[in-house]
């Protein structure tokens, strides 16, 4: 019997694209897939064959004022960009806490809408890819699936670094201090949110976590990067080594590949690309090389000047470009990080905020790429990392083998199987 599956992703491109990939498999199997995404995604999901029953996370924009998908977070990044020059310790107060505050405001605002959507849609399974609890999703009396599409340090453990810290796994000297600062900056906010969730009918939140686990829990991270031995999980948790959507259009580079030239893909994600000054700094340095580049330019693309050895656009089909590339330069967002591993590509990582520091540190400490200081790297450091990774034949062969194994495990269909199985119990 076909199931009705309700997806609620966080409004940014990463979680939404993850849900699109899994939802597309379920849709093609004959299930009804409905997205309770944020209202700025209107029409974008329907065009992919899904139903839309959208929510507002804040009072709607003025009539006739159409917003791009995830516009709120693009504006947030632009306004808070100076804070990304601070350490991860300092960002707890000036970046991480304000993000939680905004997310909580959105959850409270849309709670009545979510209840109405659940009443209309009557889902058999509810799937959330977000970082905080929406009580209506838990109190609907339906099987609930939580997806973690950020770095899995979000699933805390005594023997893994604290989430958002970017601290090394092999050096615990600063772990306790970071956890103490997180407690200091977030305890009051967490307590108030916990009280509100309980007042809406949920069980209490786990200590200092803003989200409950589900009947089924999925997290997206390759085994080659994972913290498997250091952070054991119970039987409700399942790893998806990758979750690479199959909905991107085919892509042929609109330029001729020069013989002997390497192809490098550069993206700071839909949010990081809003920092035009940083984008331009990286582009200006890379423009000095003989390599060829494809650049994901983002929403402020008109303000960015590409070098002669580059082609770019506001939106590019990332999952079709990474297989063509020899190297990926990224902010370390979970989607791009796992997609680079899925296709077996080395990375240079320039983290900005949230889990990007954790991904950058993990890739660097395991030798699959190089983490640079995002705002203070020298030209020589960036160019040296490019040359070293492009010239490391042994690493490239190792990553090719890892990518082949990740693709064989087929995280998309594993996720669809698990969600389907939960719905049919």
Average pLDDT of the chain to the nearest whole number: 92
Q: Is the pLDDT of residue 184 over 70?
A: yes
- What's the pLDDT tens digit per position in 33-62? 999 998 888 999 999 999 999 998 888 765
Angle, alpha carbons 52-12-119 (nearest 5°): 30
The rounded distance, in Å, linking the Cα atoms of 382 and 397 is 22
Q: Which helix (H) or strand (E) holds 197?
A: helix 175-199
Higher pLDDT, 126 or 74: 126
pLDDT score at 65? 55
Q: What is the pLDDT of residue 82?
A: 80
Q: How many residues does the chain have?
A: 425
* pLDDT class of 186 with cuts at 50, 70, 90: very high
| d(C-alpha 120, C-alpha 142), whole Å | 14
Residue 404 pLDDT more than 90? yes
pLDDT digits (tens, 9 = 90+) for 260-316: 899 999 999 877 888 888 999 999 999 999 999 999 998 888 889 999 999 999 889
Does residue 340 have a pLDDT over 90? yes
pLDDT band for position 104 (cuts 50, 70, 90): very high
Looking at residue 377, its pLDDT comes to 96
Question: Taking CA 279 as the corner, what is the angle to CA 390 and CA 13, rounded to the nearest 5 degrees?
Answer: 90
The predicted structure's pLDDT at residue 64: 46
Q: pLDDT at residue 247 above 60? A: yes
CA angle centred on 157, ends 152 and 160, rounded to 5°:
75
Give this prediction's pTM.
Answer: 0.92
- Rounded to 10 deg, the angle between the 411-423 and 393-409 helix axes is 20
Tokens 């423009």 appear where? Answer: 287
| pLDDT band at residue 72 using 50, 70 and 90 as cut-offs | low
pLDDT at position 282 is 96
Q: Would you list the domain boundaries of the chain?
A: 4-245+410-423, 263-408
What value does the CA radius of gyration of the chain take, rounded to a whole number of Å?
Answer: 21
Report the pLDDT averaged over residues 397-412: 96
- Is the domain defined by 263-408 classed in CATH 3.40.50.2000? yes
4-245+410-423 homologous superfamily: Glycogen Phosphorylase B; (3.40.50.2000)
User: What phi and psi values does residue 292 have, to the nearest 5 degrees?
Assistant: -110, 150
Check whether 71 has a pLDDT greater than 60: yes
Task: Determine the pLDDT at residue 299.
Answer: 81
Find out whether 105 and 113 touch, Cβ atoms under 8 Å. Answer: no
The confidence band for 63, taking pLDDT boundaries of 50, 70 and 90, is very low
pLDDT at 32 over 50: yes
Cα gap 216→421, rounded to integer Å? 10
DSSP category for residue 94: I
Q: Does the pLDDT at position 67 exceed 70?
A: no
Write phi, then psi, for 312 (nearest 5 degrees). Answer: -160, 170
How do residues 370-395 score in pLDDT, each as one tens digit? 999 999 999 999 999 999 999 999 99
- What is the mean predicted confidence (pLDDT) over 329-350? 96
Evaluate whether 4-245+410-423 and 263-408 have a shared fold: yes
């Amino acid at each position: 019997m076909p199931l009705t599956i309700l997806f609620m992703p966080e409004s940014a491109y990463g979680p939404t694209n993850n849900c699109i990939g899994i939802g597309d498999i379920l849709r093609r199997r004959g299930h009804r897939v409905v997205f309770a995404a944020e209202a700025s995604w209107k029409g974008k999901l329907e065009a992919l064959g899904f139903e839309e029953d959208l929510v507002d996370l804040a009072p709607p924009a003025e009539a006739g004022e159409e917003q791009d998908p995830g516009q709120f977070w693009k504006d947030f990044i632009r306004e808070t960009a100076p804070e990304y020059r601070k350490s991860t310790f300092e960002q707890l107060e000036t970046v991480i806490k304000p993000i939680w505050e905004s997310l909580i405001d959105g959850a409270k605002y849309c709670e009545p809408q979510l209840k109405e959507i659940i009443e209309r849609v009557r889902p058999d399974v509810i799937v959330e890819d977000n970082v905080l609890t929406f009580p209506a999703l838990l109190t609907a009396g339906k099987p609930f699936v939580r997806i973690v599409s950020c770095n899995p340090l979000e699933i805390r453990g005594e023997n893994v670094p604290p989430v958002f810290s970017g601290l090394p796994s092999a050096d615990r000297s600063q772990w306790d201090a970071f956890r103490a600062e997180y407690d200091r900056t977030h305890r009051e906010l967490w307590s108030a949110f916990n009280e509100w969730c309980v007042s809406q009918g949920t069980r209490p939140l786990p200590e200092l976590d803003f989200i409950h686990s589900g009947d089924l829990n999925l997290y997206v991270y390759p085994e080659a990067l994972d913290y498997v031995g250091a952070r054991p999980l119970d039987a409700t948790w399942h790893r998806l080594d990758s979750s690479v959507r199959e909905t991107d259009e085919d892509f042929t580079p609109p330029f001729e590949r020069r013989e002997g030239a390497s192809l490098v893909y550069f993206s700071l994600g839909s949010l990081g690309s809003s920092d035009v000054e940083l984008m331009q700094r990286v582009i200006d340095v890379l423009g000095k090389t003989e390599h060829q580049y494809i650049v994901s330019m983002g929403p402020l693309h008109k303000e960015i000047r590409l070098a002669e050895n580059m082609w770019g656009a506001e939106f590019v089909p990332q999952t079709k470009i990474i297989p063509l590339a020899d190297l990926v330069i990224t902010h370390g967002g979970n989607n791009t990080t796992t997609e680079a591993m899925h296709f077996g590509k080395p990375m240079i990582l320039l983290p900005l905020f949230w889990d990007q520091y954790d991904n950058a540190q993990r890739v660097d400490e395991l030798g699959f790429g190089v983490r640079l200081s995002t705002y203070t790297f020298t030209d020589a450091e960036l160019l040296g990392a490019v040359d070293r990774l492009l010239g490391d034949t042994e690493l490239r062969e190792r990553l090719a083998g890892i990518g082949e194994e990740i693709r064989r495990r087929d995280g998309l269909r594993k996720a669809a199987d698990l969600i389907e199985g939960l719905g049919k119990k």
